[in-house]
A and B are shown apart, each in its own frame.
Chain A
């Protein structure tokens, strides 16, 4: 079957294209809504942000068409070269870029400035896809894994060196891509656990448990460990008798301890919890020795290490983190009400969104975003404009558009016959999901302020073009999926 003869118009996934176009249009109207004093013809003038964005969108569409007409073989064959060139560009940017708001990530090319970091994503995705596609790739092999990690850790380091920590963080999602390809879930599981423990321990660390002299944070983290022990045991070996006994050991003494503590003699229930966990861990080791199932040791280790981690988090938070880092975390966890300092942006963005109500204030009528109470209101905080002017209806609609796009890409990625196509597809959808997760989470005051744009929505050419290329390559790969049969 000749590759020149691919019927692009017939094979391309129009649903994805429509979803993206709707997002671009909504984004453009939000940019108009968040700028002011823009009426009539000036809306389309290159001097205004909406006018410029219109030009960027036009370019993006042309760029998309060009990319889609390039063959999959080209991307596959030149994947490493593209990645290599991009790394050189990222490195060069550190030295060539003018400092802009403290970061060195923008290159001035004639009238436009480009941010190479936005384009490094597709290059990295291509290289990773190519590498994992190798027949000999083994997700359990440390050597292979090290190289795969190197492909996305290098751009990450270079971008951190440009002082764009937010953009660099995106590259973490490639771990999720590798998970789909067989990377052990333990890494994912332990990472998630560490984050949950940290947040709970810090956020509720100062909240007393009723009249007891221990904190809710410590109690909850220990409770999570207690509940996880029988569950983890179940995953080790489906030994239901053993797991039930483990659960009984954890729950019954705890309930009795709580009753005693509240009704008669108050004592530190957390000490009881710790004792129970350690008991379980010891029992687990004996069980492991007896059954010759050494993965029980792992569960045991997770339990004990969790306790150590819990008691070191407080220490690390107070003694190792720097002041501004502590403040950032405290503000995000709602522990510090500080509307004029670190929390100012988040506070103002939540006021803007919250004031939108059910149906919003109407297009161009948002006072918060327009009076510039919200910073970066057409780039990183653009979701505020949607929230304020279009209300719950509009914001839910945009949010659902994104999730639909991600799920659609999941379907496309899963239908790829090649590992190359699938890995690349997962890279696209995971990057998108991460951007949406972090950006909207930040605007809603759930996540810390990490400055990354909302894909296809935020003002700016680099981000728009970067995502266009990223997605177009995948659409082209998807077009050619049947060519391999």
Chain B
């Protein structure tokens, strides 16, 4: 079952002589439950693609749909609700609210919908991510690896259709990187979570079911490994 569908997706930044074409007619389809790695050099357009798929940015032209929702037609409020319920975003620099505890950060997407968390699911996530004993700490009191686990827990708490991770291991050491990738794989295997992971680290990419290579705003290779 197709969860993500992109067709002739284009993104242009700036205007006139300063114009930059970040995406040039990208076509991509991702099935439910897939673990896809998007690889490419810096400036190739992979982060732009992820931001459009996460509805944090808009395409200049083309079509992008996630779980049946056409992203190009969303207004600000609809986009926010889409981000809250349909996708989980994990960034390289965690993007946790520094004034909230780890628990509050994780529960924030539910709190925005005035929903109570499922305690079992919460315990399952935090337990499997290894942060159950650090839930009352502020982000500033956590290590980089712990902060990224909190960010992943936050992205999963709403059971999103799609998890988008932008260089989630970019700021971590080898050991923490390994653990984070394992956790993503675990959530893909155990929870059936569809994941699109952006990375420039080949070793990380090799952990995915499928590797999409992007260069100069175009998909140049789409390799299914499993």
Q: Is chain B found bound to chain A in the same assembly?
A: no
Interface residues of A (CB under 8 A from B): none
Interface residues of B (CB under 8 A from A): none
